[in-house]
Amino acid sequence: MSGSIGDGGGTRPPASKVEDAVREGLRKLWRDESAAHERRDGVYYPSYLGYCLRKQYYIYSMGEEPTSDKLAVFATGKGVHEAVAEALRASGTVVVEEVEKDVKVDLGNGISLSGRVDLILAEVEGRNVVVEVKSASRLPDSPQEHHLLQLQIYLNALNVDDGVLLYWDKRRGRLASFDVRRDGEYMRRAAERALLLHEYLGRGMPPPREAVMEGRLWECDMCEYRRLCRPFLLEGLPEGERVMISEVDGVLVDDSRRVEDALVNAGVPPGSYPWRLRPELRSRFLDKYYDPRSLALDARGPFLDYVWRSRAGGVRLILVSRRPERLRRATEEELRSMGLIWDYMLLSPDGADGDWKGRVLARLSENYRIEEVLDREGSVLRIARRMGARTPFDRAGRERAQARVRQGNISGFLMLSPLASDPVNLRSGGTGRGRPATTREQYICPGTSPSRTAASTQRPRRLSSPA
């Protein structure tokens, strides 16, 4: 988009020429950089290896096109990298030795990682340090795993022990940095991923949709191969299927004993609201609550039988849970021990924000008929209602369920569960819509409310069992 003020004399105005020149220049820079990443059988580029395997398959088998979004990311990243290098030089406390480096790692089996990469090799207090710079829309609380893998490849390839992941908030200019020590285990993982990708490319068969399976939905949103991949058409689940979406905790499993145990571990009175605890206490609570060993405290949940009957009636079950991805194996074992069969499970990835589940629901609706959503998060229920799904965990959903019971279309099971529309736990010792009597002000984060903080803390949920 360009505009002009005044008479251009019939010739093409300079603004338009400048705009086109910037676009063409970026494309040329992008092509020049891509040419340095020569595609050869068995040779893969280090910075790609942390991407979704399916995306890598398309990159290596079909090539890449410099889309507007990709050029914007490329230009921003290049500018931030150069700015950081110049700032380090100007500081006088860090010696910048190189800003680009040829990296090559032989992984065996005819497979290697090779390419010229943008990194900063610096000397800090007499130690060599590899600095990997990443621009981001928001600063992470911890290093992202695919960035760690990339930096670890560089550390191992260059035989350097110390690395720094430096994140630059491109909107506010803030920084977050993380120390990283060389770890040979990452190279084993890199070799496994490269070998797996090599095998899929050799067979001409795209890998599973890894980013969706691991909850990295942002990667799908930004992927130029999205139309080809159709990431939210889940493996083994045909388009157009009738689907029920369910949380795990408080729905399929009764986690009340696990909640109380985690509260005690955090040093707060039983009956406190976990999602309203002060940050340091909430962190201690969640560490214990999501400890795999704590799952032994769970029992069958109030909706387990209902979900089982719905699935037996032809409705497919997709689990979308706040449980972290690291609990996948433990969660699968727990649910199987309770006799549950599901079609797909999506667990919360590292760094997931409060809207993660709502976004998953919206994306799944692109391919499936979502008939019912068993969840209590407000953002999830709002999206579910907009798409016409039943939402028995809110007041409107209960009223619709009552009508269906009167018409003889549904078991009374659903009706008998005393569920509240606001995020409070109805159990003995609580006070209904008010706060449980045992809650203490000194444990509560000031100025918070369940509606504002519940989703962002990956809170556990409890429901009373149906009468």
CATH at 135: 3.90.320.10
Phi-psi region of 339 (alpha: psi -120 to 50; beta: other; left: phi over 0): left
Q: Is the residue at 140 inside a domain?
A: yes
Q: Is the residue at 45 inside a domain?
A: no
Domain with 160, as residue range(s), is 68-203
The domain that holds 326 is classified in CATH as 3.40.50.1000
Dihedral angle computed from the Cα positions of residues 379, 385, 387 and 389, in that order, rounded to the nearest 10 degrees: 110
pLDDT at 8: 52
Q: Is the pTM for the entire model greater than 0.95? A: no
Query: Which of these three, 172, 203, 234, is where a domain ends?
Result: 203
Query: Could you report the per-residue pLDDT of 180-189, keeping only the tens digit for each?
Result: 999 999 999 9
Q: How confident is the model at residue 326 (pLDDT cuts 50, 70, 90)?
A: very high
Based on the domain organization, do 247 and 192 belong to the same domain?
Answer: no
Which string of DSSP letters, residue by residue, matches 43-111? Answer: EE-GGGTTS-HHHHHHHHHH-----HHHHHHHHHHHHHHHHHHHHHHHHSSEEEEEEEEEEEEEEETTE
Based on the domain organization, do 193 and 339 belong to the same domain?
Answer: no
Q: Is the residue at 110 inside a domain?
A: yes
Based on the domain organization, do 362 and 444 belong to the same domain?
Answer: yes
pLDDT at 327: 95
Phi-psi region of 267 (alpha: psi -120 to 50; beta: other; left: phi over 0): left
Q: Indicate the number of domains in the chain.
A: 2
Q: Is the residue at 93 inside a domain?
A: yes
Based on the domain organization, do 164 and 259 belong to the same domain?
Answer: no
Does residue 464 surpass a pLDDT of 50? no
Q: Is the residue at 282 inside a domain?
A: yes
Q: Is the residue at 224 inside a domain?
A: no
Based on the domain organization, do 412 and 289 belong to the same domain?
Answer: yes
Is the CB of residue 119 less than 8 Å from the CB of residue 48? Answer: no
Based on the domain organization, do 194 and 279 belong to the same domain?
Answer: no
Based on the domain organization, do 380 and 301 belong to the same domain?
Answer: yes
Q: Is the residue at 251 inside a domain?
A: yes
Based on the domain organization, do 142 and 81 belong to the same domain?
Answer: yes
pLDDT at 324: 92
To the nearest whole percent, how much of the chain has pLDDT over 90? 34
pLDDT at 449: 40
Based on the domain organization, do 301 and 389 belong to the same domain?
Answer: yes
Based on the domain organization, do 189 and 256 belong to the same domain?
Answer: no
Query: Which of these three, 153, 184, 203, is where a domain ends?
Result: 203
Q: Is the residue at 26 inside a domain?
A: no
